[in-house]
Amino acid sequence: MYFVINIISCDIRMNICNIAWLLYILRKEVLKLVDRKIIYFEDKEYPLELKRLKQPPQQLYVIGNTELLKGENTKIAIVGTRKNTEYGKYMALNFSKKLSANGIIVISGLAKGIDSYSHIGAMVEKSRTIAVLPCGLENIYPKENQNLYKIIVENGGLVITEYADRVEADSYKFTERNRIVATLSKGVLVVEGDYRSGTRNTAKIAAELNLPIFCIPSNLNSKKGYVPNLLIKKGCLRCNLSDRNSFKILLCRIGKHLIYILPVYNNSHSLL
């Protein structure tokens, strides 16, 4: 009798486990459908900015608030190294907070380091942010940022990629991702980046598009300050949180009314 009861008890537990698993899978599938869509090159929703590229994405896989892609929204990209210093973290958080407080949408690449702090700083001000991925929506890279990805969507932000759901990230796709980050913005703010950093690539793309490039100066002895210090030397605008004028100029240059004449770099190789 005890043996029979034990078998029945095991069956019940197995059924409960199976039901729980099925509910988990069902919830996961339902979440995939929420606010998810594909925007094709021919669609009205496709960002006009991306059509400037020589090889624009033919489709965008998106989840979240697609209203943020509209041209009337002022957007700025904040970029930097994955292995940031405490100084870089402070600057990324505080610049993204101040920009968001002024109604500007922050764009970044959902990478570790400066990208993550830029997204977080924007959301601290209850503003929305756009994350651009080098992978598919079901293969978030890096894995550590899966929660940040969910938080961005849940807080009215947007996550976009040109890659199908299960595509994995690789070095080539980081470069491709960077061109979207730069092109969607009205300007690029460079926080930190060493000699081999992808930040340098994003700044180069921005220069080719004649976008204003803003840089946060670093200690000359800091390897992570190599790219912003180089760009400042080449004539890009230096930004400092303690300098109200530099921040006002930043806002003016990326605002709807471009009050100042933007620097034009016809040869991006001379800039970087």
Q: pLDDT tens-digit profile of 100-117?
A: 988 899 999 999 999 999
Return the pLDDT at 72: 83
What's the pLDDT at 118?
97
Q: Are 104 and 74 in contact (CB under 8 A)?
A: yes
Q: Render the burial of 18-43: b for 16+ CB within 10 Å, e for the rest.
A: eeeeeeeeeeeeeeeeeeeeebeeee
Per-residue pLDDT at 59: 97
Task: Provide the 10 A C-beta neighbour count for residue 147.
Answer: 9
Identify the pLDDT of residue 125: 80
Give the Cα separation of 271 and 157 in Å (integer): 33
Q: Which residues contact 193 (CB under 8 A, 6 or more apart)?
A: 79, 80, 81, 199, 200, 224, 226, 227, 228
What tokens appear for 152 in the block?
């961005």
pLDDT of 198: 87
Instruction: Specify the pLDDT at position 127.
Output: 81
The whole-angstrom separation of Cα 173 and Cα 115 is 16
Q: Which two tokens stand for residue 165?
A: 């759901």
Weakly modelled stretches of the chain, pLDDT under 70: 1-18, 20-35, 237, 239-272
**What per-residue confidence (pLDDT) applies to 249?**
57
Helix axes 114-124 and 146-154, enclosed angle (nearest 10): 30
